[in-house]
Amino acid sequence: MQPETAILIGIMFTVATYLVLHRSFVRILFGFLILTTAANLFVLSMSGTPDGKNAPVVPAVDTGAVMVDPLPQALILTAIVIGFGTAAYLVFLLYRLFLDQKTTDAIALYRTGPTDEPTDPPTS
Amino acid sequence: MNWPALPFLLPLLTALAALFMGRPGRLRRQVVGGSAALQLLLALYLCARTLDGSRLVLGIGGWSAQYGIVLVVDLLSAIMLALAALTALVTILYGFVESRLAVEHPLRLPLVQFMMVGINLSFCTGDLFNLFVAFEIMLIASYALLTLEVDNWEIKETYPYVAINLFGSVFFICACGLVYARFGTLNFAQIAARAGTMTDDPLLLIIALLLLVVFGIKAGLFPLYFWLPNSYPTLPIPLAALYGGMLTKVGVYVLLRMLATLLPPELTLIHRLLLWLSAATMILAVLGALSRNYIRGILSYHILSQIGFMLLAVGFFTPLAIAAAIVYIIHHIVVKSSLFLIGGVAAWLNRTDDLERMGNLWEKTPWVGVCFLLQALSLAGIPPLSGFWGKYLIITVGLEQRAYVLVGVCIVASVLTLVSMLKIWNGAFWKSSLKILVHREDPRWKRMAALCGALTMISLGIGLGAEGVFRVARQAADTALDQRGYIEAVTRITNPKEATP
């Protein structure tokens, strides 16, 4: 792994952890977005340094150059799509939470404590 | 015949069919119910096929095992498939009885089937990244089901569930990346073949710890379980039974698969860590159960306490201990989902599941009481009910390994389980008060109770036929622990010329 990529991933993980530990659910969402990107970058960096290597689509016969390992790229393609879907879901959940409770701050939300006395199961 | 692909193709097709049928209707219910029954038959067939310890391997697309997707079904997977299908069938039928067509949410059945796709795929897969995809399918469907029918007040309990599982997924991707960097493959068999030669590599320990965190979140292991006891009670009863019975057990299954089949057995540090974490889970969760005062809350905490028992057995890591864990999983899934359903019937009859406002059930509906009593005592581990045999095996293994403290924790947790079950018994069934009404006008509760009775009979059968169940579990444990056989089976199917690495 290249040192500059490693440092970048480290910074992104730090920022994401900082955001996730906040009380505001919106910041947790942003932390999650940065965290998925950091994880994808981490997996991408597993294909090694790309210097002097060909992109996986170009046949390497004439130049004799080595291909970059394509598998991590295939993996993060899947991971990006899944991460995008879950992020979209989280945004909607947050929006509904905000509409229902008029706040996204954890302290204000849980002031009454967890629902010790839940509503009765629906009988229909 | 590509049998290993059917367990997840069947629910996938059912889900799509149910989606295209649109509004809830009688035909749609028949299709989904029939498909659930078919899934159970299929899983039982797979059990019969793998009973001799063989493995059904399918290389999808004919790629080499190192890069392609491989599906592997061995006896352990087949048992889990059968349990998942049984739970799904019973909870779907319970849902049919409980809610009338007019009030059924149109997305509930398709989402349950999508969740079954994820659950079944994670039992069948032989590839780490495919496992990640399976987990995501399962989790996204479970998020959607969790928030589908919650009211405005309970929506805040679902956010921690979604958030913690998202972080689990991110760590899972990181673990996949590390595994690929270290082993150059994501295939279980190839990882097992290569990890066996590098047991003193520190990176292997890091990978194992990362996987422990990821699957510990899914299973609800001690420091990572806070999301579960508040979010599960927000679900409607049949879904709570499905979640409580199956979802956390997927985490347990995968941990078992990782430690037994994937990682070399010399990783004793992980096993020891798992032992103490599961002991903590067991005792803290049962104390949590004592603190709750409504049925769904108590039962949700009990899921965690029982997870502690299973993972304790996995942590002991002898063939007998793995077999004990499998016996315990078989017992637990049946008992736990039936307890949720019985709780649902009780809540239906009293129109609440707050123990303060319940009562009179033993007097008015003794058969529901009998079902509850049998299952609750089984959960606590009273012989000859099914829970006793699992606990007996775990304690035997513990005594063999001279882990007296852990055995003591087991026994204390069992006694406290009994106490909290007695709390439900006293509150809902035994207490008699003139002020509390039992609503028996609507006859639907009889059919719901009959389903609970069927599960109770199965659980009784497991308890009385413990010898046979144990033999099957022993065979499953031996197959799961046989790394060499696993590697051979996978490499043979994808590349017949390639010898065992």
Q: Looking at residue A9, which CATH number applies to its domain?
A: 1.10.287.3510
- The verdict on a CB contact (< 8 Å) between A121 and B180 is no
CA angle B360, B366, B367 (to 5 degrees): 140
- According to DSSP, the residues that pair with B23 across neighbouring strands are none
A118 is a domain residue: no
pLDDT digits (tens, 9 = 90+) for B171-220: 999 999 999 988 888 889 888 888 888 877 888 888 999 999 999 998 88
Structure tokens at B468: 């046979």
B81-104: b or e for each residue (b if 16 or more CB lie within 10 Å)? bbbbbbbbbbbbbbbbbbbeeeeb
**How many structural domains does chain A have?**
1
Model confidence band, residue A8 (pLDDT cutoffs 50, 70, 90): very high
For residue A79, give its domain range.
3-50+70-109
Are B28 and B105 in contact, with CB atoms under 8 Å apart?
no
pTM of the model: 0.91
Q: Is A60 on the interface with B (CB under 8 A)?
A: no
Q: Average of pLDDT values for B91-108?
A: 89
pLDDT at B494: 62
pLDDT at A39: 93
ipTM of the complex in this document: 0.86
- The verdict on a CB contact (< 8 Å) between B147 and A93 is yes
A93 is a domain residue: yes
pLDDT at B262: 87
pLDDT at B360: 83
Are B69 and B124 in contact, with CB atoms under 8 Å apart?
no
What is the rounded average pLDDT for all residues in chain B? 89
Q: Average of pLDDT values for B398-422?
A: 91
Are B110 and B141 in contact, with CB atoms under 8 Å apart?
no
For residue B64, give its domain range.
3-491
B223 is a domain residue: yes
- Residues 6 or more apart from B370 whose CB is under 8 A from it? none
B190 is a domain residue: yes
Chain A positions in Cβ-Cβ contact with residue B154 (cut-off 8 Å): 115, 118-119
**How many structural domains does chain B have?**
1
Helix, strand or coil, per DSSP, at residue B380? helix
pLDDT digits (tens, 9 = 90+) for A19-66: 998 888 899 999 999 999 999 999 988 887 777 777 766 665 666 667
Q: Which of B179, B367, B410, B219 is nearest to B304 (CA)?
A: B219
User: Is the pLDDT score of A115 beyond 70?
Assistant: no
CA angle B182, B186, B191 (to 5 degrees): 65
- The verdict on a CB contact (< 8 Å) between B158 and A90 is no
B499 is a domain residue: no
B483 is a domain residue: yes
Of A39, A97, A110, the CB nearest to B174: A39
Burial (0-12, 13-18, 19+ Cβ within 10 Å), B20? exposed
Q: Which of B379, B191, B415 is nearest to B283 (CA)?
A: B415
pLDDT digits (tens, 9 = 90+) for B343-374: 999 988 888 888 888 888 888 888 999 999 99
A57 is a domain residue: no
User: Is the pLDDT score of B236 beyond 60?
Assistant: yes
- Residues 6 or more apart from A77 whose CB is under 8 A from it? none
Of A76, A82, A115, the CB nearest to B157: A115
Model confidence band, residue B155 (pLDDT cutoffs 50, 70, 90): confident
DSSP code of residue B220: T
Q: Is A78 on the interface with B (CB under 8 A)?
A: yes
B461 is a domain residue: yes
User: Is the pLDDT score of A116 beyond 60?
Assistant: no
Q: Which of B159, B167, B350, B439 to mutate to test the interface with A (most CBs of A within 10 A)?
A: B159
Model confidence band, residue B497 (pLDDT cutoffs 50, 70, 90): low
Calpha distance A120→A123 (Å, rounded) = 8
Q: Which of B132, B140, B136 is nearest to B186 (CA)?
A: B132
- Residues 6 or more apart from A45 whose CB is under 8 A from it? A1, A2, A5, A6, A9, A72, B177
Are B243 and B311 in contact, with CB atoms under 8 Å apart?
no
User: Is the pLDDT score of B108 beyond 80?
Assistant: yes
pLDDT at B478: 92
A88 is a domain residue: yes
